[in-house]
């Protein structure tokens, strides 16, 4: 089994090869990681990148993919990529909010009205600004992937108004935004790694969480949390990130090819996402999960103080206004 220590050792070895003039023509396998399982749209998009790179280079360039969280948490993979121990990582924006403030606007509550709205923004100047911003901390922003509309689900009861969340322990990703949102709605935010949510629901460490349909389905959390409330409070997307060290070590031609193929993978991923989201919803509802709509205006009012707090920052306010102008 590969470990973070072995990855770090491998990174040092790669650096030594570069120092002694390893040829650009040599076979290159970029190490990539994702916490999701095979079949999940982001994992399949990475497989598509691997196959496309191999086809375009006659097998000389490709990915070595570690899925299902084999290399640890998303927060761990960010630093591994920054320091060159990992080449590519797919990370949800929530895990990036604290170390990369430029990403915060994408996770704020009720910023996006729909998936289509989010995609327009990510494909435009605001999305480009955020991807370019990763360069400040030794990463290359390759692309944005979808992560759907995040909704609340729990083991106790339907959530219709924020008061229904009062007293519940709700898992959140490691982001001040999500902790602040859940606290503002009257629940008790409980930050936990993605891979620990199922067992936490089983053991009643938490009462619920918030995420998208495919994550709810593929982690089998629906088996213990039977109440899904359609809040759509955030469309926090994913980022596909590349180590700056690895990027600089590639030949100019390979850099251009990798950037281009990553961009081409976005519509491929989106098509897979739309299909998977619909099938996941159908699957879990057929197995007893009860879906209900929430009082969205009531949720927006409860979340307004958090949104106002973040909009006091000039950059976030500018980005927010740009996003809303595309609604």
Q: Mean pLDDT, to the nearest integer, of 243-268?
A: 98
Q: Mean pLDDT, to the nearest integer, of 51-80?
A: 95
pLDDT at 13 over 70: no
Residues 29-51: tens digit of each pLDDT: 999 999 999 999 999 999 999 99
CATH number of 4-146+237-278: 3.40.190.170
Cβ count within 10 A of residue 10: 15
pLDDT at 310 over 80: yes
Q: Give 9 or 236, the one with higher predicted confidence.
A: 236
pLDDT at 63 over 80: yes
Fold of domain 150-235+280-324? D-Maltodextrin-Binding Protein; domain 2 (3.40.190)
55 Cβ contact partners less than 8 Å away, ≥ 6 residues apart: none
pLDDT at 234 over 50: yes
What mean pLDDT is reported for the chain?
A: 93
Domain with CATH 3.40.190.170 in the chain: 4-146+237-278, 150-235+280-324
pLDDT at 10 over 70: no
Residues 108-122: tens digit of each pLDDT: 999 999 999 999 999
Take residue 10 and report the two structure tokens written for it.
Answer: 């491998």
Q: Where residue 8 falls among pLDDT bands split at 50, 70, 90?
A: very low
DSSP string for 20-86: TT--TTS-EEEEEE-SSPTTSHHHHHHHHHHHHHHHHHTTSEEEEEE-TTTT--HHHHHHHHHTTS-
Position 25 scores a pLDDT of 52
* Whole-angstrom distance, CA of residue 310 vs CA of residue 91: 22
Strand order in the sheet with 150-154: 188-191, 169-172, 208-211, 150-154, 227-234, 290-293
Q: With 0-12 CB in 10 A as exposed, 13-18 as middle and 19+ as buried, what is 65?
A: buried
pLDDT at 19 over 60: no
Position 26 scores a pLDDT of 79
Position 269 scores a pLDDT of 98
- List 63's β-bridge partners, or say none: 30
Residue of 120, 152, 148 whose CA lies nearest to 273: 148
* Whole-angstrom distance, CA of residue 212 vs CA of residue 187: 19
Position 11 scores a pLDDT of 46
* Whole-angstrom distance, CA of residue 174 vs CA of residue 95: 6
pLDDT at 253 over 90: yes
Position 7 scores a pLDDT of 53
Position 168 scores a pLDDT of 98
Position 2 scores a pLDDT of 47
* Whole-angstrom distance, CA of residue 285 vs CA of residue 78: 35
Q: With 0-12 CB in 10 A as exposed, 13-18 as middle and 19+ as buried, what is 94?
A: buried
Residues 139-182: tens digit of each pLDDT: 999 999 999 999 999 999 999 999 999 999 999 998 999 999 99
């Amino acid at each position: 089994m590969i470990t973070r220590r072995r990855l770090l050792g491998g990174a040092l070895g790669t650096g030594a090869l570069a120092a002694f003039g390893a040829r650009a023509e040599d076979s290159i396998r970029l190490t990539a990681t994702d916490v999701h399982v095979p079949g999940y749209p982001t994992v399949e998009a990475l497989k598509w990148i691997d196959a496309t790179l191999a086809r375009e280079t006659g097998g000389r360039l490709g990915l070595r993919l570690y899925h299902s969280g084999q290399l640890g948490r998303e927060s761990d993979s960010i630093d591994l990529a920054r320091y060159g121990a990992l080449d590519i990582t797919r990370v949800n924006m929530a895990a990036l909010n604290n170390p990369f403030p430029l990403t915060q606007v994408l996770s704020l509550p009720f910023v996006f009205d729909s998936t289509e709205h989010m995609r327009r923004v990510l494909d435009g100047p605001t999305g480009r600004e955020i991807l370019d911003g990763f360069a400040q901390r030794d990463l290359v922003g390759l692309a944005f992937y979808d992560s759907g509309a995040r909704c609340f689900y729990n083991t106790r009861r339907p959530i219709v108004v924020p008061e229904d969340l009062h007293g519940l322990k709700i898992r959140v990703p490691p982001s001040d935004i999500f902790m602040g949102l859940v606290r503002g709605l009257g629940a008790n935010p409980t930050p936990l790694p993605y891979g620990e949510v199922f067992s936490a629901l089983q053991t009643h460490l938490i009462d619920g969480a918030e995420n998208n349909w495919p994550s709810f389905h593929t982690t089998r959390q629906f088996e213990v949390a039977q109440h899904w409330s359609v809040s759509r409070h955030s469309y926090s997307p994913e980022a596909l990130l590349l180590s700056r060290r690895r990027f600089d070590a590639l030949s100019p031609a390979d850099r251009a090819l990798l950037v281009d193929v990553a961009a081409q993978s976005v519509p491929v991923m989106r098509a897979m996402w739309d299909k998977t989201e619909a099938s996941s919803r159908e699957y879990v509802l057929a197995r007893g999960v009860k879906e209900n709509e929430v009082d969205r205006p009531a949720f927006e009012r409860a979340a307004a103080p958090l949104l106002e707090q973040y909009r006091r920052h000039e950059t976030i306010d500018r980005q927010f206004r740009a996003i809303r102008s595309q609604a």
